Structure 1
C-alpha cells in the first residue's frame, strides 16, 4: 500500500510540475530560475498532498477493507471484537463499517446454524431412541406370541398387557411431540381468562394423589388457602403445567412429599411446586428444560415419562410471557416456580363493568 501511494503521488506531482513549468514558460518575464523554483515547489506540494490523501484517507481504509474480506474468506471472525459502532462521514469508513456489520451478522448466522445443526442431530438421535424403545418392546411381545406363546392364556394376557403399555407410552410420546410442535408454530392459541388457580391446583392434587400414594408420598398445599387467588391465564395450559411439574416432582422424590404454594406479589402471583427429591446438580440446571434431557438417563428410563414434560412447561409459560425458574440442592430437593398476572373474580369484573356503564351514562348526560 505504501509503494502504491508513493507511485501515484510521484506521477501526479510530476505532471503538475510539468504543467506549471510549461505555463510559466509562456510568460515573457519568466526566467529559468523562476520556472525551476515553481516546478520544484508545485512538485513538492502536490506530492505531499496526494501522498497524504491517498495513504491516510484512501489506501489505509482500502487496506482495512481488504483485511476484513480476507479474514472472512478464511472464516476468521476475530476482527469482530474490534468493531466500532461509531458513525463516520467518510464514505470508505462507512463501507468498512457495513462490512464489519455484515461480518458480525454472518458470524452469528454461522454460529446459530452450527447450534441448530447440533440440536437437530441430537434431537433426531433422541427421538429415534425414544421411539425405538416402546416399538421394539411391543414388537418383541407380539412376535413372542406369534411364535407359539399365544396358546398359553396366562402368558398371552401378560404379554398383551405389556405390549399395550408400550404402545400407550408411544402414544404419550407422540402426543407430547405434537403439543410442543403446535405451541412452537403457534397452532395452539392461548385462551386467557380469569380463574381461581387454587381450585386448579386442587384438581391437580386429586389427580396425582394415587400416583403419590404408590410411592408413599403426599401431595398437598404448603398452607391452607381459604380464599381464592385469581390469575389471568389459560386455565387448561396452566393445569398442564402444574400436572407436569407435580408429576416430575413425584418421579424424583423418594421420601417426604410435594407441596404446591402461592404468593401474591404486587401485580403478580408466584406459583411454586416444591419437592424433597434427589435434587439437580448445578451443571444441569440450564439444560433440564431441553427435550429428552435427563440428569440420570438410566434411572429416568426406569421411572418412565417421555422426557418432554419440562420442555412443554417451558414453552407454555413462554407463551404466557413468563418463564419457569428452578432452585435445587442435591439431596434436599427442588423448587420450580413461575409468575402469572393477578386476575379478577366474576364479582370484581361485574363491578368494573357497572362502573364503566355508569361513567358512560354520566358522560352522555353531560353531552346533552
Structure 2
C-alpha cells in the first residue's frame, strides 16, 4: 500500500499531540505519588513523635509529682528536725520514713531507690529495692547545688551505656513560707527509664531509628541498643537543633552512625534533650514504586498504541476517502467520466461523494451537449473551427459561473425594481406620446410635460441606483461625475418642491448669492436626491411660515442652506437624525411618516460627492441644514451667472422621432414571435427589414455566414442564451455592434452583458427614442422620409399584431400549466421569461408582472413555492381574456 504524504504529516502531528500530554501525565503522577508519600509519612511521623513526647512528658511529670509529694510528706517533715539527734525518737522517725520510702517503691515499681541527702551530699535516709548502699557521690550534684530550681531531673549514663533517671526535690524548713527558707537537703529518687525505653523502641515504620540525645549530642536512648553512649557529630547536632520543632521531615545523612540517607523529624524536650525519629529515604519511595511502575507501563503502552489507533481511525474515516476522491478526480481529469464513488455513507464524506457523482454527471451531460453542438457548428462553419474550440472552453467557464446563485439582497432589490418600473414605464410612455403629439402647441404645456418626463427619468435612474445603495457602507458605491446644469437642477427642484409647499400654504423661495457657476462636475442623480430629501423634509415638518433655500459658491464648493420654520429638533435629539432608522422622537413617524433613512443616505452621499451635511435647530422655532458639495471644475469669467437676468431657461426642443432612413443589415435574435413582429414593424419606419434568429445558436450561425452592421440580441432564449451567443461571436472574431435586449435592467445585469461583449443594452419595453439613437449611432443615413410613430401605434398592422398576441394567450396558458404539471421547471422558467418580455412590449403589464415573479421564483430554485406564482399568472391571463382588456 502506498503511503500518502498526508498520512505521514498526520502521523507527525498526532504523535507529539498524544505523547506529550501522556508524558506530562506520567511525570505528574510520579511526582504526585512521591509528594503524597512524603506528606503521609510526615503526618504519621509527626503524630508518632507527638505521642511519644506526650508519653515521656507525662511519665516525667508523674515522677516529679511523686517526688514533690514525698517531700511534703508529714513523716519526712517530722524526721528532718531529728536528723542531728541520737535518740530513740530519731530511730522511730527514721523507721517511719523508711516505711514511707518502701511504700512509694511498691506503688511505683520503676523507682529503684530514694535517698535523703544533706546539702553536703551526706545521706540521711536511703532506701533501695536492691538493698544497695547509698552512693557517696552523684555526678550531677555540683550542677544541682548551683541551680535555684526546686525540682530537677537528670539522666545519667553508665559505662555500659545504661541510662538512669534521677528526680531531685529540695527540702526546706517547715516554716519557710513565713521566714527565709533554709535548705535542709535533697530528696533524690532514682527511676528505671522503662517508659523512655518503650517510647524509643516503638516506631511507625520498619527500620525506623529513634534517638534521645543530650544537648551535647550524646545518645542516651536508642532503638538500636548498640548506639547507646555514642555521640553524633557537632555539625549533625547543629542541624538537628535548627530543625527541632519545625514540624517537617528533613533530609540528613548521620555519618557518625551510618551512611544511610535519612528523613529526620526532631523535637526538643524539657531539660534540653532531643527526641529524634529518622526513616531511611528509600523506605519512603517503596510504597510508590509499584504505582510508579504501573503508571510508567501504562504511559509507555499509551504512547505506542494511542497514535497508532488514532491514525488507523483517521485513515479509515478520512484519508482513505480522500485518496478515493483524489484517484477519481485524476480519472475525471483524464476524461474518464464513467467513474463513480460509493455514496452509501450517511456522513459528510458520503455527501461529498454524492456531490462528486452529481458533478461528474453534469460534466458528462454538458460535455455531450457541447460536443454535439460543436460538431454541428463545424459542419456549417469549417473556417471557424479553431476559434470555436477555444470558445468551448470559455463556454464551460461561463456555464459554471452562471450556476452561482445571486445573493438574497440582490434578488429582493431586483423584484422591487421590477414592481416600481412597471407603472413608471406607463407614465413615461404616455408622456412621450403627449410630447410627440403635434396638436399640443402651448409652450407651457410642453414645459410641464418635459418636467414630468425629466423627473420620471430621474426616478427611473434613481431606482437603478437604489441597487447600489447597499455599497455605501462598504465604500464601493461609484459616483457618476458629469456636467450638471445648475439652472436645470434648481429649476427641477423648484418644480417639485413649490407645488408641495403651495399645497400646505407655505412660502418657498430661493436666494441666489452671485456669482454662481453655470455647471459643476457631480453626480446629478445623487445631488438631486440629497437636495430633494432636505427640501421635502423641510416642507413636511413645517405647518406655517415657509421654506427658504440659499445658494452660494466659495472655494470650489457649492453651499446650499435650507431653512424652515417647522417643528425644530432638540439638542439632545439632533445627533441622532443622521443615524439609520432614527427620527427626532417616536411621535415623528406617526405624525409625518418616513423610515428615518433619508438623512443618513443624504449625508453619506454628500460625503461621497466631496462635501458634507450639518444641521442646526431650535425646537419650536425651526431647523437649518447646510449642504456642501464639491464642484470639481475650474471656471473662467464666462462660466458664471452674475445676476438673475442671466439665469434663463435653455429650452431644448425635445427631438422628434427621426425622419431619417438608415442603410444596413440588422439581425434580431428573439425567440418570441410576437416580439419579432413588433420589432419588425418599428424598424420598417426607418426602411430596415431585419433578419430574425429564434435562439442564440441560430444567431451565431447567421452572423458567421453573413456580415451584419448591427445585431439586436435578446439575452434569454432557448437552446443558447444571448449572453453565451455574444461571447461566442466575440471569440469568433465578430467585431460588429451587439445590442442587448433584456427585461433584466439591474445594474449588475447590465454590467454582466457589457462584460460578455455587448456594446449597449436596451430595456424592455423598448424605448423608441433609445432605439432611434442606437440606429443613428451604428448605421449610416440613407434618405429622409416621414416617420409618424402615432400612426405606427394606431396602424392596422400593429393592432393586428397585438390581436394575434392576445389570441395566443390561451396557448401560452396551456403551455404554462403543462410544464407545471410535468415538473419541467427549466422550460417553465424560459416560457415565463418570454411571456414577461412580450407582454410588457404589448402593454399587458399585469401578465408581465406575474410572469416576472414566476421567473424569479424558479430562478431562485424555490420549487416548493411556485404554485402561487403559477396561479397568479393564470388569473392575470384569464382576466385579460374574459374581460377583453385592452393593453395599457
Q: Same fold (TM over 0.5)?
A: no
| Higher strand proportion | 2
Shorter-chain TM range is: 0.3 to 0.5
TM-score (norm 1): 0.43
Q: RCO higher in 1 or 2 (8 Å CA, sep ≥ 6)?
A: 1
Work out which of the two has the higher radius of gyration on C-alpha atoms and give 1 or 2. 2
TM-score (norm 2): 0.19
| Higher helix proportion | 1
